[in-house]
Each structure stands twice: as C-alpha cells, then as structure tokens.
Amino acid sequence: MPAPTNVFFVRHAESQANLDKDEIAHGWRDAYPRTLQDERDADVRLTARGVEQARTTGRYLAANLGAFDACYVSPWLRTRHTFDHLLAAYPAEQRDAMRVATRYEERLRDYEQGIVTRLTSAQIATRYPEEAHRRATDGPYYYRPAGGESWADISQRLHRCSTRSRARNRAGICWWSRTTPSSCARAKCCWAWMRKRS
C-alpha cells in the first residue's frame, strides 16, 4: 500500500508545565510549583492561552487544509484537549468524520522523565548528582533517567507507530503529540521517505 500523500505534525498547545518552565528559564521562579509536582504528567492541563492557541490553529487548519483522513493522538490530557478545541473549528460533518478516523496512540505520549520529572538542572545536581553526571556524560539523546526513557527510546517506540500509520492511510494524516515525540516522528518519516526515493 502506498505511503500517505501528506503527513502533518501538531504539537499540543501551551500547558501549565510549559508556562512554569518558561518562568524558570527567565528566572521568575526557581522550581515548579508543588501542585504541579504532585500531579501526574499525563494529567497536566492547558493554560487559557493554550486553549486559544488550539482554537486558532484549528481555524487555520480548517480553512487551509480541510479535514484529515486519519488522526493519531497522544492520550495525555493536554494533547486530547488541544485536539478537542482544534476540532471545534471544523464544520460538524467534517468534525464527526475526523473523530471516527481518530486513534489514541499510546506511543505518541510525552517524554517519560522518570526520577527527574519537573526538576530543574540545579535540583537534579543537588538531589541526584549521579544522574547529573550521567546526563553530562551520555548527552541529551542517549541519557535515560532512572525510571524514564531517552530520546533514542522514543525514536524506537515511534518507529513502529509511524510504520503502522503510513501503511494504513493513503492520504493526509495528522499526528498530535508533544515536541519530543513529534521531532523523532518527523525524523522517522523523513528517513522512510528518503529510503523510498533512493
């Protein structure tokens, strides 16, 4: 079966964790708030600005690209909410068709950070100096935190996902995920396209 004609990647809109991370990067706070640290990463919600981002993106996609033949969505809350707000911009008939063509794909979930989830670099160095050392030694692509995964691990779990989605859909498909899985997925799809062309 031929590969899809078009593949689009959409990152989830701004979440509360994104906002807090930006504030840490700007020096406006030195750690993630306790309420966020106590929450499962899969349950982090969008901010009000994130909701508007999703709606704006939906209006653009509906006006310029139309409906997608298949949608693969991470099951994590921020991604599902992004997808829901985005779909609201489509006419009812297209929206219903896209929902039927939607698959919630666990392999598109966010980066599993394990023991260092929502810790700053300074906190990691203080609490888990051995992790800080391994991260510096292994580099960002191969470093696997205790209880978590590396970018290389993500690439592996996405390989089968991309193969499956390309095999099952002939036209336009869209993946809804987070930056890290989307980046790895784009690399996988580009690699597959180049191998086919060679």
Dist CA 9 CA 22 (whole Å): 23
pLDDT tens for 16-69 read 999 999 999 999 999 999 888 889 999 999 999 999 999 999 999 999 989 998
- Give the pTM: 0.80
Q: Is the residue at 99 inside a domain? A: yes
Q: Is the residue at 71 inside a domain? A: yes
Q: Is the residue at 139 inside a domain? A: no
Q: What is the pLDDT of residue 62?
A: 94
Q: Is the residue at 21 inside a domain? A: yes
Taking 80 as the threshold, does the pLDDT of residue 153 lie above it? yes
Q: Is the residue at 153 inside a domain? A: yes
Confidence at 192, pLDDT banded by 50, 70, 90? very low
Query: 193: domain CATH number?
Result: 3.40.50.1240
- Which residue range(s) make up the domain with 67? 7-112+149-197
Q: Is the residue at 73 inside a domain? A: yes
For residues 85 and 51, is the Cβ–Cβ distance under 8 A? yes
Dist CA 86 CA 151 (whole Å): 28
pLDDT tens for 68-107 read 988 889 999 999 999 999 999 999 999 999 999 898 988 8
For residues 89 and 59, is the Cβ–Cβ distance under 8 A? yes
Number of domains in the chain: 1
Confidence at 154, pLDDT banded by 50, 70, 90? confident
Q: What is the pLDDT of residue 196?
A: 46
H-assigned helices in the chain: 16-25, 34-37, 48-64, 77-87, 92-100, 121-127, 129-142, 151-168, 179-197
Confidence at 166, pLDDT banded by 50, 70, 90? low
- Here the tokens at position 196 are 């086919």
